[in-house]
C-alpha cells in the first residue's frame, strides 16, 4: 500500500481509503459479521483511512466502524461527518458527541461538515456562536484533530470555502468521467489542503465492463473499475480516494491497484485525457444537457435519457445505462409513480423548438427506448 500526506495535517493516509457507506446489509440492517470481516481485511491490507457519516447504512455505519477500529485506534485515521447546517453551535456539538459515542473513541482525526455549501456557510454555519465556532472549540479541546468538509458545490464556491482557512481537507467528487473539480483539487493541493476523492468509480457507473473505456489505454488493465481507480490515483493532487467496498474480493482488487508504484504513467494519463476530450466532444454533438427542452408535459426527463444514451453509445457502459433507464421508469413524485423514461414520450413535440441544437428529440427518444428499454 502507498501512503501520502493529508495536506499539512501531518497525517499519513493510505491512497485507498475505506468508504463506509456501502457496508454489507440484510433487511436494512448492517450485517455486522460480514462488515467487520471486510473492514479488517482492509486494515490488514494496509488501508489506514476510513470514512463514515452519521446517516450511512441506516445510521449504523459509525457504530460498525467503531467496532472495527477497537484495538487498532492508533493505527487508523477516522473521518466522519456532521450533517447539521443550521445556526446553532449547541446542536452541532450534540451530533459530534453522539458520533464520538457511536465510534467509541475519545477523538476523531478528521471531522467534516457534510455536504456544506458556500450559501450555508455564509448564512448560518459561519456566524458567531455557530457550528464553526463550536468546531474550533472542539479542536482546541482535542476531541477533533482536524476540520474538513465534503462538498458538492460549484468549483468557484469550493475555493471560497477553502479560503476561509478553517478546513484542513476537502472531500469532493472526481472520476474519469467527471473532472470538473480538477482545478479545485490543484488549488487545494497548492495551499496544503488534503484532497480526498469520493466516487472514484463513478458511484458504480465504472464498475460495469466497457471495451470503449478499456481501449483508451494499452497497458494491461483487468477491468474498467481498475482503470478508473488508477486514473484517480495518478492525479498528484489526490491524497486518498474513498472506495465503498462491501466484499473481501473488492478490498483485495482495489488494494492491489492502490499498491502499484505508478498507477498510470504521464503518457498513459495524457492519452486517456485526449480520448476523453474526444468522447466528450462527440457526446456534446448529441446533447449538452442544457435543459432548455424541459419541462416535458408528460414527465420525460429528456437530458437524463440522453445522458444515459451517451454512456451507452460513446462510453460503452451498456449495463449502467440500462439500469439507469430502468430507474427513470420507476421515478416517483409526491408518492405517485411518474415515469421519466423515454417510453413516457407522447410525441407532442413541445420540446423540439426549444432545443438550441435542433435535435430531433422525439426520434432520439425512440432510439433511447429501443436501445435501453
Q: For residue range 310-343, list pLDDT tens digits in order.
A: 888 887 888 889 999 999 999 888 888 899 999 9
Residues spanned by the domain of 346: 287-372
Question: Which residues are CB-neighbours of 214 under 8 A, at least 6 positions away?
Answer: 221, 224, 227
Q: What pLDDT does 196 receive?
A: 98
| Residue bearing the bigger pLDDT, 152 or 126 | 152
Read off the pLDDT band of 76 (50, 70, 90).
very high
Read off the pLDDT band of 282 (50, 70, 90).
confident
My answer on whether 64 and 117 are in the same domain is: yes
Give the CA angle between residues 74, 78, 82 to the nearest 5°: 145
Query: Which of 269, 303, 322 is a domain's end point?
Result: 269
Q: What pLDDT does 219 receive?
A: 61
Q: Which of 256-270, 271-285, 305-319 is the least confident region?
A: 271-285
My answer on whether 199 and 56 are in the same domain is: yes
Q: In the structure grid, which three cell numbers stand for residue 84, read together? A: 447539521
For strands 25-26 and 29-30, give the pairing.
antiparallel
- Mean of per-residue pLDDT scores for the chain: 91
Assess if residue 264 is contained within a domain: yes
My answer on whether 322 and 218 are in the same domain is: no
My answer on whether 20 and 141 are in the same domain is: yes
Torsional sign, CA 92, 93, 94, 96 = positive
Counting the structural domains of the chain, the total is: 2
My answer on whether 184 and 309 are in the same domain is: no
Assess if residue 275 is contained within a domain: no
Q: Which of 111-120, 121-130, 183-192, 232-241 is the least confident region?
A: 121-130
pLDDT at 213 over 90: no
Q: What pLDDT does 176 receive?
A: 85
My answer on whether 187 and 304 are in the same domain is: no
Find the mean pLDDT for residues 346-354: 96
Assess if residue 274 is contained within a domain: no
Assess if residue 278 is contained within a domain: no
My answer on whether 221 and 357 are in the same domain is: no
DSSP 123: I
My answer on whether 111 and 198 are in the same domain is: yes
**DSSP H/E element including 148:** strand 144-151
Give the CA angle between residues 200, 20, 183 to the nearest 5°: 30
Read off the pLDDT band of 127 (50, 70, 90).
confident
Could you tell me how far CA 170 lies from the centroid of its own chain? 12
My answer on whether 136 and 193 are in the same domain is: yes
DSSP 39-104: HHHHHHTT--EEE--TTHHHHTHHHHHHHHHTT-TTT-EEEEEE---SS-HHHHHHHHHHHHHHHT
Read off the pLDDT band of 274 (50, 70, 90).
confident
Assess if residue 83 is contained within a domain: yes
Give the Å distances, CA to CA, from 147 to 53, 114, 165, 241: 14, 11, 10, 18
My answer on whether 119 and 9 are in the same domain is: yes
Amino acid at each position: 500500500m502507498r501512503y501520502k500526506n493529508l495536506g499539512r495535517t501531518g497525517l499519513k493516509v493510505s491512497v485507498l481509503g475505506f468508504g463506509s457507506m456501502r457496508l454489507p446489509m440484510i433487511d436494512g440492517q448492517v450485517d455486522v459479521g460480514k462488515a467487520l470481516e471486510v473492514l479488517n481485511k482492509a486494515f490488514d491490507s494496509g488501508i489506514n483511512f476510513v470514512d463514515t457519516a452519521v446517516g450511512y447504512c441506516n445510521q449504523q455505519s459509525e457504530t460498525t466502524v467503531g467496532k472495527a477500529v477497537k484495538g487498532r485506534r492508533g493505527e487508523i485515521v477516522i473521518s466522519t461527518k456532521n450533517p447539521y447546517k443550521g445556526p446553532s453551535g449547541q446542536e452541532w456539538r450534540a451530533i459530534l458527541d453522539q458520533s464520538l459515542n457511536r465510534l467509541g473513541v475519545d477523538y476523531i482525526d478528521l471531522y467534516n461538515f457534510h455536504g456544506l455549501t458556500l450559501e450555508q456557510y455564509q448564512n448560518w454555519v459561519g456566524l458567531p456562536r455557530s457550528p464553526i465556532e463550536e468546531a474550533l472549540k472542539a479542536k482546541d479541546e482535542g476531541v477533533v484533530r482536524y476540520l474538513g468538509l465534503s462538498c458538492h458545490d460549484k468549483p468557484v464556491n469550493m475555493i471560497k470555502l477553502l479560503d476561509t482557512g478553517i478546513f484542513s481537507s476537502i472531500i469532493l467528487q472526481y472520476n474519469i468521467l467527471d473532472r470538473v473539480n480538477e482545478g479545485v483539487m490543484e488549488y487545494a493541493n497548492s495551499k496544503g489542503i488534503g484532497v480526498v476523492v469520493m466516487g472514484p468509480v463513478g458511484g458504480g457507473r465504472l464498475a460495469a465492463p466497457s471495451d470503449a473505456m478499456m481501449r483508451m489505454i494499452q497497458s494491461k488493465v483487468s477491468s474498467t473499475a481498475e482503470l478508473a481507480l488508477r486514473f484517480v490515483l495518478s492525479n498528484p493532487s489526490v491524497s486518498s480516494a474513498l472506495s465503498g467496498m462491501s466484499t473481501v474480493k473488492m478490498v483485495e482488487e482495489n488494494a492491489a491497484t492502490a499498491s502499484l508504484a505508478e498507477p498510470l504513467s504521464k503518457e498513459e494519463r495524457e492519452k486517456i485525457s485526449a480520448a476523453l476530450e474526444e468522447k466528450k466532444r462527440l457526446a456534446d454533438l448529441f446533447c449538452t444537457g442544457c435543459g432548455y427542452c424541459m419541462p416535458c408535459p408528460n414527465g420525460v426527463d429528456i437530458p437524463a435519457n440522453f445522458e444515459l444514451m451517451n454512456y451507452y453509445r460513446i462510453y460503452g457502459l451498456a449495463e449502467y445505462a440500462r439500469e439507469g433507464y430502468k430507474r427513470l421508469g420507476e421515478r416517483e413524485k409526491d408518492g405517485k409513480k411518474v415515469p421519466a423514461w423515454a417510453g413516457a414520450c407522447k410525441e407532442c413535440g413541445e420540446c423540439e423548438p426549444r432545443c438550441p441544437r435542433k435535435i430531433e428529440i422525439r426520434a432520439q427518444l425512440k432510439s433511447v427506448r429501443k436501445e435501453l428499454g
